[in-house]
Homo-oligomer: A and B are copies of this chain.
């Protein structure tokens, strides 16, 4: 069995590779990973000849990769992923995420039409919710409020269209927020951690924050990637599955718990520049569909989100 993980040097990608390597079921699988630029951590867990440095917006290069590797499974994680930063260059975020999707799906259609592909969307596809619409199940309307969310809708529905039009074996997933080791500082928890450490070292006086009232659904990245594997094993072709803890955490509570563990008092400064143009008040996942497939939350089932940080 040959497995390809795109975006393998990224946050979820590297945890997914680790999870596959640790799973006896995939002990004899050929596991390949792609990275864009530096492979970094990936080099410590995969042999060099299974790491492919590639720009997946380049369709010709992507076609060559799929032709060569001939994967049975493709976990297609590669994408521009930071919501906050996605406001800086909206056309670029959209174009990048669209191109990594068309070039992969076209490559699979042409060169590996039997491969099973995990198309990775996001809770940001649901975007805006009215209070009565929570928790968010897979039938929730798509109301993305930012370019990242729109790009994920396009990726997700393009997967659906290729399933419907060309019979590709596509499974779609919409993960909610996930945290854990090696996450980039463009995301909320590592960004808070870094600032708190700076205050502790006396390099800044206070932590600067955006909207603390927002409620988000945080999972441990290791639960999320186990969910990805489960969906490839058991997901129904063409279907879409939410992955999230099902519990809402207010960003303020998350920050308070982190500050409580700090070695010095951490003053909080609200910074208008860190507020997003449209911040969704509350996102909580209805994970019933994935649970019915057998998904279990292991990493955070006993502990609160705060203890996992």
Contacts and interface: CB of A to CB of B under 8 A. Distances in A.
A158 B150 contact: yes
A263 interface: no
A160 B87 CA distance: 15
A141 B95 CA distance: 24
Contacts of A300: none
A54 to B, nearest CB: 17
A246 interface: no
Contacts of A47: none
Contacts of A157: 142-144, 149-150, 153
B99 A95 contact: yes
Contact of A91 (B103, B142, B161): B103
Interface residues of A, number: 37
B106 A98 contact: no
B90 A277 contact: no
A145 B139 CA distance: 17
Nearest to A128: B164
Contacts of A151: 154
A278 interface: yes
Interface in A84-116: 87, 90-91, 94-95, 98-99, 102-103, 105-106
Which of A105, A128, A145 has most chain B Cβ within 10 Å? A145
Contact of A106 (B59, B90, B145, B165): B90
A147 interface: yes
Contact of A99 (B59, B91, B144, B154): B91
A98 B94 contact: yes
Contacts of A106: 90-91
A287 interface: no
A146 interface: yes
Given A91-B59, A99-B91, A166-B277, A154 B150 contact: yes
Nearest to A102: B91
Which of A91, A106, A145, A150 has most chain B Cβ within 10 Å? A150
A145 B146 CA distance: 24
Contacts of A128: 164
A160 B127 CA distance: 11
Contacts of A158: 94, 147, 150
Given A95-B95, A99-B95, A161 B142 contact: no
A158 B91 CA distance: 11
B153 A165 contact: no
A223 B246 CA distance: 47
Given A91-B102, A91-B106, A147-B158, 7 more contacts: A95-B95, A98-B154, A142-B157, A146-B161, A147-B161, A149-B161, A153-B153
